[in-house]
Amino acid sequence: MHNHLRHSLVAQILDCIVDAHDRHTMLLAALVCAVGIYASIAIARHAARSSGAVRIRWGSTSVLSSGCTAWATHFIVLLAYQPNMRVAFEPVLTAISLTCAVVGIGGGVVVSLSSRRGPRQFAAGVIIGVGVAALHYVGQSAYLVQGTIRWDLTLVIPSIIVSLPIFGFSMMAIASRNRTWQTCAAPLMLLGIAILHFCGMAAMTLQQDPSIEFPSDAVAPQTITPIVAGISLALIALAFLGWRFDLAATARIRQDRKRLRDLADVALEGLLITQNNIIIAANRSIERLSGLKQDDLTGSEVSRLLPALELTTLLENEEREANLIGVDGIIVPVRVLRSTVPLGHSVQTVIAVRDQRERLRTEEKMRRLAFADPLTGLPNRTKFTELLERHTCTERRTDQGLAILLIDLDSFKIVNDTLGHAVGDAVLQDVSIRLSTLVKDRGIVARLGGDEFVVMLTGDVSDVSAFDIASKVVEQLGARPFDIDGRTIHIGASVGLALFPEDGGDPSSLLRNADLAMYLAKSEGKGTVRRFEKILHERLQERQSLEAGLRIALSSGQLEVHYQPLVDAASGRITSAEALVRWRHPSLGLIAPATFISLAEETGLIVPLGTFVLKTACAEAATWPPEIGLAVNLSPAQFHDKSIASIVASAIEDAHLLPQRLEVEVTEGVLLADTGATLETLNRLRSMGVRVSMDDFGTGYSSLSYLRRFPFDRLKIDRSFVRGIPSDAESVAIARAIITMSTCLGLLVTVEGVETAEQYAFAVSEGCTSIQGYYISRPMRAEAFAAFLIAWNNQAPPNPSTGRKIAEKSIVLHHSDLRSVLNW
Ligand code: C2E
Ligand code: CA
Ligand code: CA
């Protein structure tokens, strides 16, 4: 630089830095530069934190301070330059240089704020660069020496060309989100400034010329130094202010963070406050959830707690399932929700962590409940069907046996109705325990609903072993009574058996066929096991067609009432008749009630059927001589109908029949349930004048105590006891005992099913009230009965044992006959 020219450019610049500058002043320049930059940045940060007018004020201050920093640094370095000749400063250009710096930086900041995008930031950097370059070269033009200054443009132009992009990149780095890029911003900016300054200095060649006079307004360095010092002091003051602003902001952030943390601690949900994947704070719920202390968690990465959670792909307010790894590696299923919360001027990510264990447990419980019967805990119908489906699939592959036992409890309804649902429930629970104990691991027990259970036998199942277990089921449930709260309860079970694949190739037909078999077991006297047979299908169909036929019969007058006379034992005269229903089928002929009464009871058809019989018989009896009575059978279903008394009343009223002529016959089954209502109905009928007799006495469950409790007028000794008379001593003894007992109780007694003269004579000699049976007559149609009645009672004196009429032999198709007709 001095007067001689160096060839190497680098050496030229180095020389300029090392030789021509005063070290202490250079140090001062660096200090002022650093303080100025800190002040500018701190004030800019404060501006960014504020808003409105305050923001604009502090923003402009920051721009001004950075311009001054650049200018002051530049002039301190210029002052440090010692060219060994007198120097001075041109005041206008000096002022312009300061303006250039401020305007350039200000313009750059404005452009930079307009958009964060790269090109815009680059442009902002270039504008700042232009300002700084202008500061340098205008400032240097204001530099006056006692001599001539020659500019080496080969240094000036490249210095500008090289430094402008560097400023551009520096601004891009400031705006960048990349951390390493960001740290490059300040060094790049300094590099740009250094290139401009030192190239500019190196490009100057000074030629001393004492003849040259300074212009009159030239300012001596001694004058400019206090100005520079003043600006520097102002920068220091500004830096102090910026530092205070920073302190206050940090305190505020700390306070905010504490408040957030306090708030987070009362939240039930776990909350993690994070920044850049690092946990800054965790609340107490997180401690409880993970078993880790808050202090251990802060500072560690989010992945330590939630390893599989990819935070970068988790959107704002998106919920996701994850696993939290707690102390000792315990895994807690959680749901996380991410949201961003502004804190001070920074933005933090809050991860809400919700414990899912309770929810999963509840779900599991619900799932179990949906598939289990709540009363017994056994699988329910849905679950059983699923299991059956799965097993039939595997069985098909492994070729092992599978059997279905469909179990229906006998007389459970009576238990439920008479003893209440609590007792019924307890019985069902006991049944489930007995079945499970019996089946053990040989299969699965399930409750299909109501009193219906099912067992699926799996493994090594043969028809013999399945039948064996089914029989044990019947025995377990039937032979041993249930003890509920000190009450002894007898029930039984009917079991339908179906084997896979013989009795049904798919789950639904297997179940349906087991059901059919069970139905057969029920109809054949209950308490038994039946295996499915193909013929069952046909029977079911017949039953269904029978039901449909019975409905038609009711509406199209195919039902008729026959009458069987009852003879007074003492006088031998007919005193009354029992009405017995028949079905005159268009193609099958006359069908006996045994075939369709139980069906009518099951389907509810018994009520209209019974009313028909009652009305028809009353109307018919009204045409008989007034001393002849009428007996009508009432089934339990009719009897439990609350309106039965009024139905009876209207039937006798319509027929103008004296109530005293009517007698209703009920079986012991009527007495089993609902004693209060039964008693009430009995009393109402009797208060009307209608008599009530107990039919089929001795065949049901009745005990003698019933006879005391319920007000009957008559007992009818069942046929089964009469059949053995006179040969079977036991039958004789029973019949005799019943007759004696009834007489003692003041009851009338009828002996039913008298077929022989011996039986007739026995009944007469034992002192029963009346006699009914084929020996006198079979039931007959109304007209036949009217004729029979006149003929019989007109015999004088009637001597039944010798002079009895030959009973009309009406052609009645009985159940057994029908079976052969239908090929049952
Ligand atoms: P039940 O009330 O015991 O009627 C007597 C049954 O015994 C009648 O059978 C009758 O024909 C039969 N019988 C009478 N004397 C003799 C005899 O000497 N030997 C034999 N072997 N049998 C005799 P039926 O008419 O077939 O009725 C059977 C059952 O059907 C009746 O038994 C009764 O329980 C029921 N029933 C008949 N008609 C009606 C009705 O209108 N309503 C209701 N609810 N049930 C009826
Ligand atoms: Ca009867
Ligand atoms: Ca009877």
Q: What is the per-residue pLDDT across 573-588, written as a single tens digit (0 to 9) for each? A: 999 999 999 999 998 8
- Contacts for 735-743 with beta carbons within 8 Å, 24 or more apart? 735/762, 735/766, 736/766, 738/697, 738/698, 739/766, 739/767, 739/768, 741/704, 742/715, 743/767
Q: Report the pocket of ligand 1 as residue ranges, CB < 6 Å.
A: 564, 580-581, 592-594, 597, 610, 613, 633-635, 665, 695-696, 719, 753-755, 772-774, 779
Which residues lie across from 151 on neighbouring strands? Answer: 204
Whether pLDDT at 794 is above 80: yes
Q: Can you tell me the distance from the alpha carbon of 106 to that of 166, in angstroms, rounded to the nearest whole number?
A: 18
Spell out the alpha helix ranges (H) of 323-420. 357-371, 381-398, 412-419
Residue owning the nearest CA to atom 33 of ligand 1: 633
**Those residues with Cβ within 8 angstroms of residue 477's Cβ, 6 or more apart along the chain or in another chain:** 407, 409, 431, 434, 435, 491, 492, 493
Q: How many helices (H) and strands (E) does the chain have?
A: 30, 25
| Residue 521 one-letter amino acid | A
pLDDT at 612: 96
Bigger pLDDT: 100 vs 364: 100
Which of 46-60, 438-452, 776-790 has the least mean pLDDT?
A: 46-60
Per-residue DSSP letters for 246-264? HHHHHHHHHHHHHHHHHHH
| Residue 275 one-letter amino acid | Q
Tell me, rounded to whole angstroms, the distance of Cα 558 from its chain centroid. 55
Whether pLDDT at 174 is above 60: yes
Q: Mean pLDDT throughout 155-170?
A: 92
pLDDT at 571: 93
Query: Using 50, 70 and 90 to split pLDDT, how confident is the model at 343?
Result: low
Kindly give the distance from the C-alpha atom of residue 680 to the centroid of ligand 3, in angstroms, as a whole number: 23
Bigger pLDDT: 257 vs 772: 772
Q: Which of 598, 615, 633, 670 maximizes ligand 1 atoms within 8 Å of its Cβ, making it the mutation to test the pocket?
A: 633
Closest CA to 125 of 53, 82, 212, 184: 184
> Residue 151 to residues 141, 147, 157, 215: CA-CA distances in angstroms?
10, 13, 11, 20
Kindly give the distance from the C-alpha atom of residue 135 to the centroid of ligand 3, in angstroms, as a whole number: 131
Phi, psi of 148 (to 5 degrees): -110, 150
Q: Encoding tokens for residue 610? A: 């019974």
Which of 34-38, 336-340, 393-397 has the least mean pLDDT?
A: 393-397
Whether pLDDT at 268 is above 60: yes
> Residue 217 to residues 91, 93, 140, 229, 585: CA-CA distances in angstroms?
7, 12, 17, 21, 144
Q: What is the DSSP letter of 407?
A: E
**Packing angle, helices 412-419 and 421-439, rounded to 10:** 140
Q: What is the DSSP letter of 711?
A: -
Whether pLDDT at 5 is above 50: no
Phi, psi of 462 (to 5 degrees): -120, 170
**Measured CA angle at 515 (ends 513, 518), to 5 deg:** 115
pLDDT at 774: 95
pLDDT at 803: 38
Atom of ligand 1 nearest to the CA of 696: 3
**Those residues with Cβ within 8 angstroms of residue 616's Cβ, 6 or more apart along the chain or in another chain:** 560, 561, 579
Phi, psi of 69 (to 5 degrees): -60, -50
Atom of ligand 1 nearest to the CA of 593: 30
pLDDT digits (tens, 9 = 90+) for 101-132: 999 999 998 888 888 788 999 999 999 999 99
Atom of ligand 1 nearest to the CA of 716: 3
Which of 243-252, 433-442, 469-478, 680-689 has the least mean pLDDT?
A: 243-252
pTM score: 0.48
Residue whose token pair is 């009944």: 763
Atom of ligand 1 nearest to the CA of 561: 41
Kindly give the distance from the C-alpha atom of residue 695 to the centroid of ligand 3, in angstroms, as a whole number: 5
pLDDT at 466: 93
Residue 98 neighbours by CB distance under 10 Å? 22
Exposure string (b/e) for 749-783, b if CB count within 10 Å is 16 or more? bbbbbbeeeebbebbbebebbbbbbebbbbbbebe
Query: Using 50, 70 and 90 to split pLDDT, how confident is the model at 12?
Result: low
**Those residues with Cβ within 8 angstroms of residue 559's Cβ, 6 or more apart along the chain or in another chain:** 553, 581, 582, 583, 584, 609, 612, 613
Whether pLDDT at 713 is above 80: yes
Q: Can you tell me the distance from the alpha carbon of 119 to that of 115, in angstroms, rounded to the nearest whole number?
A: 9
Q: Which ligand is nearest to the CA of 564?
A: 1
Query: Using 50, 70 and 90 to split pLDDT, how confident is the model at 314?
Result: confident
Name the active-site residue from 533, 752, 766, 808: 752
Whether pLDDT at 606 is above 50: yes
| Residue 256 one-letter amino acid | D
Q: Can you tell me the distance from the alpha carbon of 809 to that of 814, in angstroms, rounded to the nearest whole number?
A: 14
Kindly give the distance from the C-alpha atom of residue 751 to the centroid of ligand 3, in angstroms, as a whole number: 9
| 663 annotated active-site | no
Atom of ligand 1 nearest to the CA of 814: 26
Q: Can you tell me the distance from the alpha carbon of 89 to that of 98, in angstroms, rounded to the nearest whole number?
A: 13
Q: Can you tell me the distance from the alpha carbon of 598 to that of 635, in angstroms, rounded to the nearest whole number?
A: 9
pLDDT digits (tens, 9 = 90+) for 410-422: 888 888 887 888 9
Average pLDDT, the chain: 86
Residues near ion ligand 2 (CB < 5 Å) are 633, 665, 695
Give the side-chain half-sphere CA count within 13 A for 661. Answer: 26
pLDDT at 19: 62
Q: Which of 567, 582, 597, 813 maximizes ligand 1 atoms within 8 Å of its Cβ, making it the mutation to test the pocket?
A: 597
Query: Using 50, 70 and 90 to split pLDDT, how confident is the model at 569?
Result: very high
Whether pLDDT at 818 is above 50: no
